[in-house]
Amino acid sequence: MRSTAKLAVGVALMALALGLVACGGQSGGGETTSSGGSGGGSSSSGLTEPIVIGATSEKTGPVPVLGAEAEGYEAAVKWINSHGGVDGHELKLIVHDNAGEAAKAVSDLRTFAQEGIKLVVGGAFGPDCAAEAPVSAEAEMIVFCGSTDNLPEPDTHMFGVGLGYSPTIEAAAKMIAKYSKKPAVFADKDKSGDDSAHEAPLQLKKQGLEPILIRTSPTESSFKAAIQNAISQGADGLWFTECTPAAISAVGDAKALGFKGKIYLENCLGSFEVAEALKQLAGNEQQIIIQVPSLLLPGKAPTEAEQKAIETFKEAVPGKPNLVVGSGWDAIWMIKKLLEQTKTLDVKTNVEALENNFGFTGVWHSGTFTTSDHRGAIAEGYAIPAAITSKGTFEALE
């Protein structure tokens, strides 16, 4: 991981990570959220009392920021239970910390399967979801994956929460085309970077642009040499595809080199913590651009359903909204809508219902699941071009 260019950035990101890790449990341990017992008594509606949901979350390990998704699970369960539950039944949430390790995520699923749990949320880390996918099919359980990577195969029993990789890259390319003619794409030399190195230039070319591809090493201490290389080739925009503090450090490198063009960050960095970390570098020229959902912007959302979802989320979750928390929140609400429709925990019935044009609108996800698309998320309202401001906030671009 690259060192940050500015001490203030490093301190802010450290505070973010520590703040999100603070609520983490012990590795592999269980954490229960419910005001009801642990029983599984049947009711006339075909649902159990309480309805048990398993969660595997990256609360510790290499990606603890993603563990904030568990905060969203817990907040949603608490709110739903205090407002009548699901068809009159309480939810019970059992959270396991997978520590960002695929093997532990798989172990969590197998444990849940042995306990008879049919619905699981998490993880939020791409490699964890990839490892979970075949297990979900084998164990006959439905898993809601919070990673924005394209869903792994087989995804017969896995459904995605939030905007996925391909539509995000496509929307970003359209955004960049408004401000740059020859943007540079920075992609690390790893699996995630390989995907970005292929897809990002392809989408930019579809917009009639002349992209410059710069491959970077995750072990390098600075982006300066790579940025100088891009500038020497005539780059008028810099697109950093990394979803780590390295991309934030790169903004400092670009500013230190006097770069005046637009700087583009991935939507995975769309948080008020990142905006706060970059506010001293933001200036007043709308230079640092990122795609964010309506949840992070002032004013009304594009649709009434999205606005209602945002209002409920803000009522239940105090403080500045966080996208990872929002993703976890949406996953539980998807389950609520599904069970109120089917009134059963039968996996086959619920998979068929999800695949039958199941629509959902939340704070981070809106779209329709189908047999051929187990994510179905749309970019409108969830990938709005915005600039980071000198106040540590976001403002939508015209």
Phi-psi region of 99 (alpha: psi -120 to 50; beta: other; left: phi over 0): left
What pLDDT does 268 receive?
86
- DSSP 8-state assignment for residue 336: H
pLDDT of residue 386 exceeding 70, the answer is yes
CATH superfamily of the 166-297+382-396 domain: Response regulator (3.40.50.2300)
pLDDT of residue 155 exceeding 80, the answer is yes
Encoded tokens for 386: 């915005």
φ, ψ dihedrals at 277, nearest 5°: -65, -30
In whole angstroms, give the CA distance from residue 231 to residue 217: 18
Digit-coded pLDDT (tens) for 172-222: 999 999 999 999 999 999 888 999 999 999 999 999 999 999 999 988 889
Top-confidence residue, 9 or 88 = 88
Phi-psi region of 88 (alpha: psi -120 to 50; beta: other; left: phi over 0): left
CB contact burial 201-215 (16+ within 10 A = b; e otherwise): bebbeebebebbebe
Is there a common fold for 20-162+304-369 and 166-297+382-396?
Answer: yes
Query: Residues with Cβ < 8 Å from 275, sequence gap 6 or more?
Result: 282, 388, 389, 392, 393, 394
pLDDT of residue 59 exceeding 90, the answer is yes
pLDDT of residue 28 exceeding 70, the answer is no
Three-state DSSP at 381 gives coil
Contact 243, 265 (CB under 8 A): no
pLDDT of residue 34 exceeding 70, the answer is no
- Taking the alpha carbons of 10, 23, 266, 385 in that order, is the dihedral positive or negative? negative
pLDDT of residue 11 exceeding 70, the answer is no
Lowest mean pLDDT among 12-26, 37-51, 222-236: 12-26
Query: Half-sphere exposure of residue 249, counting CA atoms within 13 Å on the CB side?
Result: 21
Overall fold of domain 20-162+304-369? Rossmann fold (3.40.50)
Digit-coded pLDDT (tens) for 73-115: 999 999 999 999 999 999 999 999 999 999 999 999 999 999 9
Average pLDDT over residues 366-372: 97
Q: What is the mean pLDDT of the chain?
A: 89
Neighbours of 174 (CB within 10 A): 16
pLDDT of residue 288 exceeding 50, the answer is yes
Measuring CA to CA, how many Å separate 243 from each of 11, 78, 184, 206, 316? 18, 30, 17, 24, 28
pLDDT of residue 39 exceeding 90, the answer is no
Query: Half-sphere exposure of residue 337, counting CA atoms within 13 Å on the CB side?
Result: 16
What pLDDT does 12 receive?
40
What pLDDT does 262 receive?
98
In whole angstroms, give the CA distance from residue 34 to residue 249: 41
How do the domains of the chain map onto residue ranges? 20-162+304-369, 166-297+382-396
Predicted model pTM: 0.86
What pLDDT does 244 receive?
81
What pLDDT does 220 receive?
85
φ, ψ dihedrals at 144, nearest 5°: -105, 110
The confidence band for 31, taking pLDDT boundaries of 50, 70 and 90, is low
Query: Residues with Cβ < 8 Å from 328, sequence gap 6 or more?
Result: 68, 69, 70, 71, 72, 73, 74, 75, 76, 121, 122, 124, 146
Digit-coded pLDDT (tens) for 106-150: 999 999 999 999 999 999 999 999 999 999 999 999 999 999 888
In whole angstroms, give the CA distance from residue 48 to residue 13: 42
pLDDT of residue 362 exceeding 70, the answer is yes
Digit-coded pLDDT (tens) for 222-266: 999 999 999 999 999 999 999 888 999 999 999 999 999 999 999
